[in-house]
């Protein structure tokens, strides 16, 4: 791991041995460390951190959204995947969408991203409870205690969060049912101002006492269904009661001797793996991380990956996804041939391997070497901004990712999970944990995963430097989309990429959130030493016991 760089890196990584937490809010990091100090493991601390993030950063995450996790068991060396995404209401259909005047064309999603038809069953609560039940050591009541205290007693709002809270309040909370519960007299809290959320404390106390049944089959479920139906949606208490998270086999690929792990579809982690498979065939180790040659190949690999996954990623319960063929090295070799090393290709099409998004990410590694890579999201900021009366959380708008094209694998159907942008990542080598990592932010996420994994493996960067490295982002995950380039990439490199045919735009300031907000914890397998980094584009940190 090198510690000298050709770019600006703000600080050295955090180092420790007894356990580490990294996420976007220091108070949420403290909640996770508190649980580790009480004897909890990585699973327990991950959920304590996720719940505290719901309190301190409701602009991005919450129990009204969805969650995914990868868990590494140090004793077995195995990685398991948890899909905590919800499904479309049982009565929602394309005909209902058309009848509500929300259909534009086959290539567009529901036209109003905040309409209650975009609300899928919130899957986070089941994911929280199931992760603790299967892998944790403590009771859910103990795990939720720090978040309950934060919600009831209040906390000072962090600066970056205050900025996005104001944007969300103006856009989503002012005119939505009960959105005022997430404001102070109708406005967003200012940086440093104390915010209390007694409704959310009430929600967490109910779950602490009654588990996930309290959310999906009790008073909370009635309030969720009622507010959605009053707003013109169709989700019911029966939809909530029938929800279950699922444990899936994770998907992976090898990249230069390392195993990179992702959750399978309906998540878009496949995109990162396809990009890495394509990139592996190029000798990029001898190029500078921010050179035009390196960035061009990475951008082109991601264009090809998105061309595939914007078609193939869908709910596997409704359509067959050729994962084995897509992830094969032979398929990557064929796709790699489509890259011109000197020129951008903006019209890449999906391949045929067979004949026939605002989020929070957290990483936890405990003293025993267990790791949890966890991600939780409302999707677009506060999601729809609709709040079940008296319960202190907003409802996601994840259903906006459904296609309305009847021929598309990701077409909207009752009881179906949509294409999901949120993805946790993990890297192992010889069954030993190398890194628990993630980069949140819509369609930026697989692009961030590929860039971070390449920085860790190709350039031997430490976790903080890998996160500080300026990034690119292809707009909305479209294979031919405009490429945003983060300020910090040399101007002559930006000019060269434009000359190569890439439509580019330089991005700075708060807009840098476009490039995601990542966390990384690496583990030295011989000494057990943990190295943590936290993204400078957010308010957070990595801390160790």
The pLDDT tens digits for 290-313 are 999 999 999 999 999 999 998 999
Pairing of strands 530-534, 517-523: antiparallel
Separation CA 182–CA 235 (nearest Å) = 22
Q: Determine the pLDDT at residue 354.
A: 44
Alpha-carbon dihedral sign for residues 90, 92, 93, 94: negative
Alpha-carbon gap, residue 277 to 282, rounded angstroms = 10
Same domain, 391 and 441: no
Residues 22-39, mean pLDDT to the nearest whole number: 97
> What value does the mean pLDDT take over residues 445-450?
95
Q: How many CB atoms lie within 10 A of CB 439?
A: 31
Taken as a whole, the chain contains a residue count of 545
**252/344 same-domain check:** yes
Do both 142 and 170 map to the same domain?
A: yes
The per-residue pLDDT for range 325-352, each reduced to its tens digit, is 999 999 999 999 999 999 998 878 776 5
What average pLDDT does range 311-327 have in this prediction? 94
Q: Considering the domain boundaries, does residue 8 fall inside one?
A: no
> Is residue 356's pLDDT more than 50?
no
Rg (CA), the chain: 22
Q: Are residues 377 and 261 in the same domain?
A: no
What is the tens place of the pLDDT at every residue in 120-136?
Answer: 999 999 999 999 999 99
Cα dihedral sign for 393, 394, 398, 404?
positive
pLDDT over 90 at 442, yes or no: no
Expressed as residue numbers, the domain containing 512 is 248-358+421-526
Coil, strand or helix: which one is 331?
Answer: helix
- pLDDT in the model for residue 8: 65
Give the C-alpha separation, 284 to 458, whole Å.
7
The answer to whether residue 13 is domain-embedded is no
Domain count within the chain? 2
Among candidates 504, 432, 92, which has minimal Cα distance to 261? Answer: 432
Q: Which CATH number covers residue 480? A: 1.10.246.130
How far apart are the C-alpha atoms of 450 and 456, rounded to whole Å? 10
pLDDT at position 351 is 62
Of the two residues 522 and 508, the one the predictor is more confident about is 522
Question: Is residue 230 one of the residues assigned to a domain?
Answer: yes
**Is the residue at 532 inside a domain?**
no
- 37/137 same-domain check: yes
Do 324 and 397 belong together in one domain?
A: no
* H-assigned helices in 100-139: 124-135
Question: Same domain for 237 and 253?
Answer: no
In the block, which residue shows the tokens 């350039």? 459
Instruction: Please provide the distance, in angstroms rounded to a whole number, between the alpha carbons at the two ends of the chain.
Output: 22
- Which residues partner with 533 through β-bridges? 520
pLDDT at 509 over 80: no
The residue among 356, 526, 536 whose CA lies nearest residue 434 is 526
pLDDT band, residue 355 (cuts 50/70/90): very low
Domain shared by 230 and 156, yes or no: yes
* Closest C-alpha among 179, 299, 323 to residue 251: 323
In a domain, 12, yes or no: no
Report yes or no on 444 lying in a domain: yes
- Judge whether 408 lies within some domain: no
pLDDT digits (tens, 9 = 90+) for 146-205: 999 999 999 999 999 999 999 988 888 888 999 999 999 999 999 999 999 999 999 999
Q: Quick check: 113 and 278 in contact, CB under 8 A?
A: no
Question: Considering the domain boundaries, does residue 7 fall inside one?
Answer: no
Are both 225 and 118 inside the same structural domain? yes
pLDDT, residue 398, reads: 95
Could you give the CA distance from residue 389 to residue 319 in angstroms, rounded to a whole number? 37
Of residues 237 and 12, more confidence is placed in 237
pLDDT at 512: 76
Q: Are residues 123 and 178 in the same domain?
A: yes
Alpha-carbon distance of 450 to 479, in angstroms, equals 15
Nearest to 16 by CA among 35, 40, 33, 34: 33
Question: Is there a single domain that holds both residue 95 and residue 129?
Answer: yes
Residues 476 and 350 reside in one and the same domain: yes
Which pTM does this prediction carry? 0.94
- pLDDT at site 477: 57
Q: What is the largest CA-CA distance in the chain?
A: 62
Mean pLDDT of the chain: 94
Residues acting as catalytic residues: 359
Phi and psi angles of residue 418, each rounded to the nearest 5 degrees, phi first: -85, 165
Looking at residue 359, what is its pLDDT?
76
């Amino acid at each position: 791991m090198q510690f000298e760089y050709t770019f600006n890196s703000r600080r050295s990584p955090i180092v420790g041995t007894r356990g580490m937490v990294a996420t976007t809010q220091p108070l949420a990091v403290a909640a996770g460390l508190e649980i580790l100090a009480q004897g909890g493991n990585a699973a327990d601390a991950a959920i304590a951190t996720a719940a505290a993030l719901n309190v301190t950063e409701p602009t991005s995450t919450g129990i009204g959204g969805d969650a995914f996790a990868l868990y590494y068991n140090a004793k077995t060396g195995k990685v398991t995947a948890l899909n905590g995404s919800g499904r479309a209401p049982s009565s929602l259909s394309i005909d209902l969408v058309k009848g509500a005047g929300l259909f534009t064309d086959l290539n567009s999603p529901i036209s109003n991203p905040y309409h209650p038809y975009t609300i899928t069953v919130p899957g986070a609560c089941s994911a929280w409870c199931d992760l603790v039940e299967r892998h944790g050591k403590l009771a859910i009541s103990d795990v939720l205690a720090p978040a309950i205290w934060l919600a009831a007693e209040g906390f000072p709002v962090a600066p970056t969060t205050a900025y996005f809270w104001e944007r969300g309040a103006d856009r989503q909370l002012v005119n939505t049912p009960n959105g005022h519960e997430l404001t102070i007299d109708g406005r967003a809290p200012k940086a440093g101002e104390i915010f209390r959320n007694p409704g959310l404390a009430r929600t967490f106390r109910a779950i602490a006492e009654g588990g996930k049944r309290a959310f999906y089959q009790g008073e909370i479920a009635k309030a969720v269904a009622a507010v959605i139906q009053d707003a013109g949606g169709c989700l019911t208490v029966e939809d909530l009661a029938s929800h279950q998270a699922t444990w899936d086999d994770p998907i992976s690929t090898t990249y230069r001797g390392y195993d990179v792990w992702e959750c399978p579809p309906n998540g878009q982690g496949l995109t990162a793996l396809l990009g890495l498979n394509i990139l592996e065939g190029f000798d990029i180790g001898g190029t500078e991380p921010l050179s035009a040659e390196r960035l061009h190949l990475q951008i082109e690999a991601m264009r090809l990956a998105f061309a595939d996954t914007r078609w193939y990623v869908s709910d596997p319960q409704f359509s067959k996804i050729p994962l084995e063929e897509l992830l094969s090295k032979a398929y990557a070799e064929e796709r790699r041939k489509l890259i011109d090393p000197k020129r951008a290709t903006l019209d890449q099409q999906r391949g045929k391997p067979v004949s026939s998004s605002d989020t929070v990410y957290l990483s936890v590694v405990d003293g025993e070497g267990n790791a949890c890579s966890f991600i939780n999201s409302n999707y677009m900021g506060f999601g729809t901004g609709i709040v079940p009366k008296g319960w202190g959380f907003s409802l996601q708008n994840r259903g906006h990712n459904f296609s309305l094209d009847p021929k598309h694998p990701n077409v909207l159907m009752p009881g179906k999970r949509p294409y999901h942008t949120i993805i946790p990542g993990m890297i192992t080598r010889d069954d030993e944990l190398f890194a628990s990592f993630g980069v949140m932010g819509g369609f930026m996420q697989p692009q961030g995963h590929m860039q971070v994994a390449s920085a860790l493996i190709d350039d031997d960067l430490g976790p903080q430097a890998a996160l500080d490295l300026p990034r690119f982002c292809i707009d909305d995950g479209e294979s031919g989309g405009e490429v945003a380039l983060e300020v910090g990439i040399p101007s002559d490199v930006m000019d060269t990429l434009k000359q190569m045919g890439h439509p580019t735009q330089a991005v700075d300031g708060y807009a840098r959130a476009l490039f995601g907000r990542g966390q990384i914890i690496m583990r030295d397998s011989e000494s057990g030493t943990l190295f943590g980094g936290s993204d400078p584009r957010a308010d957070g940190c990595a801390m160790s016991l």
